[in-house]
Structure 1
């Protein structure tokens, strides 16, 4: 296994924590050109707390991008917008911890941000355990000014999102059935071509 390519197949065989990733690919097609190429040995210096295994696999399979043009998953290091430090785990974490302090949320230092939404909701891990694979999910719902806890990790949360099995969290009115994911590199390319990736039919090559 090289530092820049996580061994997804072996991890899936060795750990039940990868069941949600297999389920997610059944619900949402990954990008045609796969995800991000992350050098996790370099990332470890910037993020000493580590990352859950399913996030590493998600970055390899899907990478940074958006579900339905609504829910964005951020990378540890930007590949598409290298000057936008806010659109990273570090940037989302800073936003989440600041928001938590402003709203008197208990132990804001344990929040690690991995995503956001176009409504400025914040999606975080609750990093209470020293084992990242045990981290659960906390969501700041900005329009409701509330923190919601979920007793499962990121990939399970995304599976439930894709299956529309998060009752009372978000509602959607999309021009297509199911759920889509578009990598940021594809979204950037399509914007330059004035093509909407969220139309009734998926765009080939994404």
Structure 2
């Protein structure tokens, strides 16, 4: 493996490479009050905070959804808390760094053994293995739906290193069920806010063409 993050490379330099590789043009600053979020119990790696400031929550290539931090006791489907609960339920009880199932009722009261920060359209979960006290030392743990009986792959890099490892095809193995992000020269990111704006204008954000579903209500 060539190394998704160079061993002597400062984290900020790795993130600068990510900004070049994946344009934040259609990103949005989530304007997260990190003190308020972390006062509830969760802490986050520095590169995730930078990601939320430059890109925000949203989709990479309409394949991988990067989740925003929990700003309230939000356990709706697809939220960071709900996906974290799903990940902890799938994590083997005998695995290191886990306390077994993480009841969502605890919500932000204590740090779970895993924290989900992304999901894929293929049903994969991308998490931090949060055993270390320092969030910047958390490796990525991926639950791959198509990865056989073990399912879990530990990637010895943080969020930025994991993404660069996918885009540069530098990881020991491809950990996701879908290979569309593997060796991707210029992946496209669209934030949730940008996607909402484009759809409100009748534009399909991923094709740039008129959205065939614009104006259609599914509430009936």
Q: Which TM-score band applies after superposition, normalised by the shorter structure?
A: 0.7 to 0.9
In structure 2, the residue corresponding to 1:41 is in which secondary structure? Answer: helix
Query: Gaps spanning 5+ residues in structure 1: where?
Result: 1-14, 202-206
Match 1:116 to one of 93, 98, 119? 119
**Equivalent residues, number:** 181
Structure 1 residue aligned with 2:165 = 160
8 Å CA contact 2:29, 2:53 repeated in 1: yes
CA deviation string 1:68-116 (max 9, x = no partner): 000111011369xx97733332222111111225xx5622541111111
Higher Cα radius of gyration: 2
For 1:112, what is the secondary structure of its paired residue?
Answer: strand
With over 3 angstroms needed to count, the CA separation of the structure-2 counterparts of 1:193 and 1:60, relative to structure 1, is same
Q: TM-score, normalised by structure 1?
A: 0.76
Give the Cα separation in 2 of the matches to 1:181 and 1:84.
Answer: 25
- 1:86 corresponds to: 77
Structure 2: stretches of 5+ with no match in the other structure:
1-8, 101-111, 210-220
Determine whether 1:126 maps to 2:129.
yes
Aligned counterpart for 2:36 among listed residues 42, 63, 66: 42
CA distance in 1, matches of 2:160, 2:27: 20
Q: 1:189 to 1:40 in 2, by over 3 A?
A: same
Aligned to 2:203: 195
Over the aligned positions, Cα root-mean-square deviation in angstroms equals: 2.9
The TM-score, its normalising length taken from structure 2, stands at 0.71
Distance, in Å, in 2 between the alignment partners of 1:59 and 1:182 is 12
Aligned to 1:100: 91
Residue 23 of structure 2 aligns to a residue whose secondary structure is coil
Deviation of 1:38 after TM superposition, in Å, equals 0.1
Residue 54 of structure 2 corresponds to residue 61 of structure 1: yes
User: 1:178: how far off?
Assistant: 2.2
Is the contact between residue 59 and residue 75 of structure 1 (CA under 8 Å) also seen in structure 2?
yes
The equivalent residue for 1:183 is: 191
Distance 1:33 1:199, change over 3 A: closer
Please give the alpha-carbon distance, in whole angstroms, between the structure 1 residues aligned to 2:126 and 2:58.
14
